[in-house]
Amino acid sequence: MSLLEINGLKLSIGAAEILHDVSLSVDAGQITAVIGESGSGKSMTAYCVNQLLPRGSVAEGQVQFNCQNMLALDEPSLCNIRGKDIGMVFQEPMTALNPVQTIGAQVAETVLIHGAASKPEALKIARDTLNRVGLPEAQFPLSRYPHELSGGQRQRVVIAMAIALRPKLLIADEPTTALDVTTQSQIMDLLKRLVQEDGMGLLLISHDLGVVADVADHIVIMRKGKVVEQGATQHIFKHMQHPYTKALFEASSHKPDRKAKPLDAPILEVKNLIRDYALPRKSLFGPAPKFRAVNDVSFCLKKGESLGLVGESGCGKSTLTRAILGLEAIQGGSISINGVEVKAGHTVPRTLRRNMQVVFQDPYGSFNPRHKVARLVSEPFHLLDDAPTGAARKAAISEALEAVGMQAADADKYIHEFSGGQRQRIAIARALIIKPELIILDEAVSALDVSIRAQILDLLAALSDKLGLSYLFISHDLSVVRAITDRVMVMKSGVIVEEGPTEAIFQTPQHEYTRALLAAAPSLEDLMQ
């Protein structure tokens, strides 16, 4: 019998049925990956295992862990199992650790709660576990606080907490979604190593096929609370049956059709751009120290071209965006839009700002929840001196909404009535309404499910063909950048380290950082062959 066996699991929260007849199993020393888009019930399946369900949930069926039915156990016995026999790793390492406790205390806590050791022994176990997850004593003493660590290091601490008591089963809920590509692959390697060393079972929850494909022994594909297909990873990749699985694979490596050829005239030219931030003063007198977020960056974006900007978090790509948009003052260099140059120390005039709009990453945070769609979409009209009013304004709003595949009637709704993908369409409509020539897409598809992402990429490609738009496409996701850009720039620590035509960069990267990025990025194509 397997370590964990879920049979005919049904779950309802209030009146809503979340899971229908879910069955899967995890063997000791094996990795089972559950894959699905948002709302597929993959996380709820995991929470059913250790019974951390929201109030008002009713679970039926069988969850057999270690020959015990978890659904029948009372709270004290569950507490005994959680943390000791079943460890859990969460998505967001920034919030999964207590900011006022040292990492040593937090890892030792799991050991102490289960009475497995005395305090000095627990601290020793914590030390050993942190060593195992790749946080050696020399750099990472137990007395470190979470804020002193990077995202990847914090996730290692969270993993250490989960495995301190050598559990039989580890549940990892999107453990690498919040991390950069290079960190992501390191964490996946770590999880794989721990599974082999300890012979524990790993239930890995993810939305990203590429991430889990390398490591998983078993793959379970879920959709709308049902398991649509499952089997050994190799088998699934070679003989996928269900149309949804096929669609998911296709969407993951989707490449939109782009016809338009870029013109020679540049729309945006950035020369030797420098952006400094003032750091907190160290002494009362003397200038505040500075941090150079963007250092001597130059590039040119042609009309109708789609230029990618790739880099990991903190490399300065968002700062660069804000500088181009004229939201923050620059300390050196110049920005030319349509041939009009704006030097450091000057603000970007309204007449130039009209040519640029932006789409942000988070479809939930980029709209004021108290305004209707019509008002949200028409906000950029503020940049025009002769903004249309009355019927003309209404017509413009309808036109913009219809251009992105929404309906004119949606203008009277509030933003909370729309899904993430629809919101991102509305965000694009807002960017389109004053007919700019350049749209900056700041991680615009990163928060979307793969199938929605594919649709949005198609929409962007179609719009650029139709309206001759130029895109500056900022992303940490290499596969997306590869699909939609003509040229790509790689940025690291405020400097552009490599630039060139997209295919050339992806096939023969020159800079070692680009190579590291490409090596770390999960790729489905290699596995499909």
Partner 1 sequence: MKRAFKMPGFSIGFIMAFTFTAAALVSFFWTPFGTDGVDIVNKLHTPDGTNWFGTDHLGRDIFSMIMVGARTSIAVAVVAVGIGVLLGVPLGLAAAARKGSLLDEFIMRGNDLVFAFPALLIAILITAVFGPSAINAIIAIGIFNIPVFARLTRAGALSLWTRDFVLAARVSGKSRVRISFEHILPNITNLLIVQGTIQFSLGILAEAALSYIGLGAQPPIPSWGRMLADSQTMVSFAPHLALFPGLAIVLTVLGLNLMGDALRDLFDPKLRRDRQ
Site residues, partner 1 (CB under 8 A): 55, 325, 327, 350, 353, 356-358, 360-362, 365-370, 379-383, 427, 430
Q: Is 91 helix (H, G, I), strand (E, B) or coil?
A: coil
Q: Please state the closest distance from residue 379 (CB atom) to partner 1, in A.
A: 5
Q: Please state the closest distance from residue 383 (CB atom) to partner 1, in A.
A: 4
Q: Please state the closest distance from residue 16 (CB atom) to partner 1, in A.
A: 15
Q: Nearer Cβ to partner 1, position 367 or 473?
A: 367
Element (H, E) at 373: helix 373-377
Neighbours of 248 (CB within 10 A): 23
Q: Nearer Cβ to partner 1, position 259 or 370?
A: 370
Q: Please state the closest distance from residue 376 (CB atom) to partner 1, in A.
A: 8
Euclidean distance between CA atoms 464 and 457, whole angstroms: 11
Euclidean distance between CA atoms 451 and 455, whole angstroms: 7
Which residues have CB under 8 Å from 392's CB, separation 6+?
Answer: none
Among 335, 330, 340, 251, CA closest to 300: 335
Q: Please state the closest distance from residue 491 (CB atom) to partner 1, in A.
A: 20
Q: Please state the closest distance from residue 475 (CB atom) to partner 1, in A.
A: 16
Q: Nearer Cβ to partner 1, position 116 or 325?
A: 325
Q: Please state the closest distance from residue 123 (CB atom) to partner 1, in A.
A: 33
Q: Nearer Cβ to partner 1, position 84 or 476?
A: 476
Q: Please state the closest distance from residue 489 (CB atom) to partner 1, in A.
A: 22
What are the distances in angstroms from CA 367 to CA 304, 376, 463? 28, 7, 22
Q: Nearer Cβ to partner 1, position 43 or 361?
A: 361
Q: What are phi and psi of 97, to 5 degrees?
A: -110, 145
Q: Nearer Cβ to partner 1, position 322 or 394?
A: 322
Q: Nearer Cβ to partner 1, position 274 or 325?
A: 325
Q: Nearer Cβ to partner 1, position 281 or 515?
A: 281
Euclidean distance between CA atoms 247 and 268, whole angstroms: 37
What are the distances in angstroms from CA 270 to CA 474, 485, 518? 16, 18, 26
Q: Nearer Cβ to partner 1, position 360 or 471?
A: 360
Q: Please state the closest distance from residue 224 (CB atom) to partner 1, in A.
A: 25
Segments in 73-150 forming alpha helices (H): 75-81, 103-113, 119-132
Q: Please state the closest distance from residue 38 (CB atom) to partner 1, in A.
A: 19
- Structure token pair of residue 328: 């923050």
Which residues are registered as beta bridge partners of 151? none
Residue 108 near residue 123 (C-beta atoms within 8 A): yes
Q: Please state the closest distance from residue 290 (CB atom) to partner 1, in A.
A: 15
Residue 206 near residue 177 (C-beta atoms within 8 A): yes
Q: Please state the closest distance from residue 280 (CB atom) to partner 1, in A.
A: 11
Q: Kindly give the pairing relationship between strand 306-310 and strand 226-232.
A: unpaired
Element (H, E) at 422: helix 420-432
Euclidean distance between CA atoms 358 and 322, whole angstroms: 10
Q: Nearer Cβ to partner 1, position 140 or 360?
A: 360
Determine the distance from the C-alpha atom of residue 200 to the mean position of all C-alpha atoms in its chain, rounded to a whole number: 27
Euclidean distance between CA atoms 9 and 24, whole angstroms: 9
Q: What are phi and psi of 160, to 5 degrees?
A: -60, -40
Amino acid at 246: K
What are the distances in angstroms from CA 349 to CA 240, 279, 343, 366, 469? 55, 28, 12, 24, 21
Q: Nearer Cβ to partner 1, position 117 or 387?
A: 387
Q: What are phi and psi of 473, to 5 degrees?
A: -105, 105
Q: Nearer Cβ to partner 1, position 384 or 395?
A: 384
